[in-house]
Structure 1
Amino acid sequence: MSSHVVSGDQVTSGLDRRTELREFLRSRRARLRPEDVGLPSHGRRRVPGLRREELAQLAGVSYAYYARLEQGYGDTMSVEVLDAVARALRLTEEERGHLIRLAQPDRQSTTQAAPRPQRLRPTLQHLLDTLGVPAYAVDRRMDIVGWNRLAAAVFGDWAQLPPEERNVARLTFLSPEARDRFADPEGVALRVAGVLRMNAGKSPDDSHFSSLIQELSQKSEEFRRLWARHEVSCGTIGESVRIRHPLAGEFDLVHEPMALPGGAPMRLMTYHAEPGSRSEEALRMLASWEMEPLR
């Protein structure tokens, strides 16, 4: 697979699974201090975090065995060993899943030379249109494949963009107008980078991820910095997101994503306001404004 990922301040060619596994493990090990896991700290350390031998001790495996894993060779290791390493590293459930996918990728995956356009079923578009909250649908590549008018009122009119630019990651890092809709664009950017890394790990042979990561790496210093952190995330679930709207001002929406059944993997992203809140009033005001049809 030909793609570009970031390691430190460098952009290297290829979303290489072994490189990803090695850098991910190193980044998780670097965030732990000996005192965090009940180990003595022996003087000054050349690099932050736990040493390899300390991590191996915590996981209950030999140093040579763990070193081989951190070199990117996890194919022959059992899930039990990977779970022990995940516990030693104090990984979240999302991070554990990412580790296992990198260490033992699906051998049935096939390379896709180009993305296949995703279309929303008419019934799903009708569902979006009848929802009384901002909602849109994204595919696994974070392309926005459908939305309702209230989503356009809150986040911007995506109908005015070329289809190839209707991508959550691309908008987050390359569109000042899209970023300005959030009171905390840096926090949103971190979560989006985490979702992109998780999705790319699930589809290691998808060339669309390659070109997207390459584009963002070349055009956004912020993306390069956040990508180097190796965070993984399934996004905000049930969390409040503060919107900064040019007409309605600032208000809070609760994000609730859900998987859509059937066909290629898609997720429905919905945002609602707390009942009786000022945010609900702002949404009601936006909904009451007449807008030109988006299609």
Structure 2
Amino acid sequence: MGDQLGEFLRAHRAALDPDESDMPSYGLRRVPGLRRDEVAQLAGISVKYYARLEQGESHQMSDSVLHALGNALRLSVDERAHLVRLARPVQAEQIRRPYGPEQVRTSMLTLVDSTADQAAIIVGRYFDLLGANRLGYALYGLNPGQHVNLAKMLFLDPAMLDLFPHWHEEAVRTAAYLRMATGDMPDDPALADLIGELSIKSPEFSRIWAAQSVAECTHSTRHYRHPLVGPLELNEESLRFADDPRQRVIFLGATPGSDSAQRLRLLDSLVP
């Protein structure tokens, strides 16, 4: 966790614009972002203490220091939550569940399968597709019951560049979700293997991953360019399971009366 904490702080310090931080200019900077002493000044802590934090020594940071660092680094709500996970691994350990193969309750699969007017998919802790209804499989061009890893599909399958007209936005979002997962499961070998494989096989993932973006999967609007029915604008709602927060069901539906709603019905009619 110490290495992750240091990498997180360094990446977000490097991403800060000195001009937007009201820091005095001393000529040409050799590296991007703010210096350690500038972040320490903004957070109201000593340079020596902040340097130890970037070296991974959290020393159970107080709430006030966490809040000050979040302000100094201009972190989002999700990024602040991730900082807490990295700085306080003992607390994270208390809510950690055993790692291992994932299973989904039959009742949940039945519920998802019964959803008729929108796509529904069940995604696991490693971005594995654990189940879906007919529209959910059809949306991604998959056969019913087909098991894939959605993160690998996005970064390694060239067809995803056509399916997602805003592919880079989807890529950043997916990497940010995976970064959030590392805070919940810092020692999970399967998650480490997934990130390692993507880093080796996808230069774009490696570049995005280095930015240390963090985001929770909640709700959004997704755009698709489906090969069978054309453009789709779908409203996404992501709900985590109460008994296993690492799994979630995602509903993707169109605004009633919209062109996307008509195309979604057309896609449903084309599914065998």
Q: Is the 8 A contact 1:111 1:205 kept in 2?
A: no
Q: 2:164 matched to 1:182?
A: yes
Aligned to 2:79: 95
Moved more, 222-231 or 150-159: 150-159
Runs of at least 4 residues off by over 6 Å: 109-112
* CA distance in 2 between partners of 1:234 and 1:271 (Å): 17
Structure 1 residues not aligned, in runs of 5+: 1-16
Aligned to 1:140: 125
CA-CA distance at 1:41 after TM superposition: 1.6
Q: 2:261 matched to 1:280?
A: yes
Residues 24-63 of structure 1: matches in 2 within 5 Å? 24-63=8-47
Alignment length (residue pairs): 269
DSSP 3-state at the match of 1:180: helix
Aligned to 1:155: 140
* CA distance in 2 between partners of 1:48 and 1:198 (Å): 25
Q: Write the deviation string for residues 55-88 of structure 1: whole angstroms up to 9, x where unpaired.
A: 1111111111111111110133212212111111
Aligned to 2:179: 197
Q: 1:129 to 1:90 in 2, by over 3 A?
A: same
* CA distance in 1 between partners of 2:137 and 2:97 (Å): 34
TM-score of the superposed pair, with normalisation by structure 2? 0.92
* CA distance in 2 between partners of 1:93 and 1:222 (Å): 25
Aligned to 1:217: 199
Q: 1:249 corresponds to which letter in structure 2? A: G
Q: 1:119 to 1:221 in 2, by over 3 A?
A: same
Q: Write the deviation string for residues 101-139 of structure 1: whole angstroms up to 9, x where unpaired.
A: 112213637897xx6222221111111112121011112
CA RMSD across the alignment: 2.0
Q: Write the deviation string for residues 232-276 of structure 1: whole angstroms up to 9, x where unpaired.
A: 1113x4422111111101121111111122246311111111111
Structure 2 residues not aligned, in runs of 5+: none
Q: Write the deviation string for residues 123-160 of structure 1: whole angstroms up to 9, x where unpaired.
A: 11111112121011112222211111001111121547
* CA distance in 2 between partners of 1:250 and 1:122 (Å): 33
Aligned to 2:247: 266
* CA distance in 2 between partners of 1:49 and 1:241 (Å): 32
DSSP 3-state at the match of 2:123: strand
TM-score of the superposed pair, with normalisation by structure 1? 0.85
* CA distance in 2 between partners of 1:244 and 1:79 (Å): 45
Q: 1:32 to 1:290 in 2, by over 3 A?
A: closer
Q: Relative contact order (alpha carbons < 8 A, sep ≥ 6): 1 or 2 greater?
A: 1
Q: Is the 8 A contact 2:126 2:194 kept in 1?
A: no
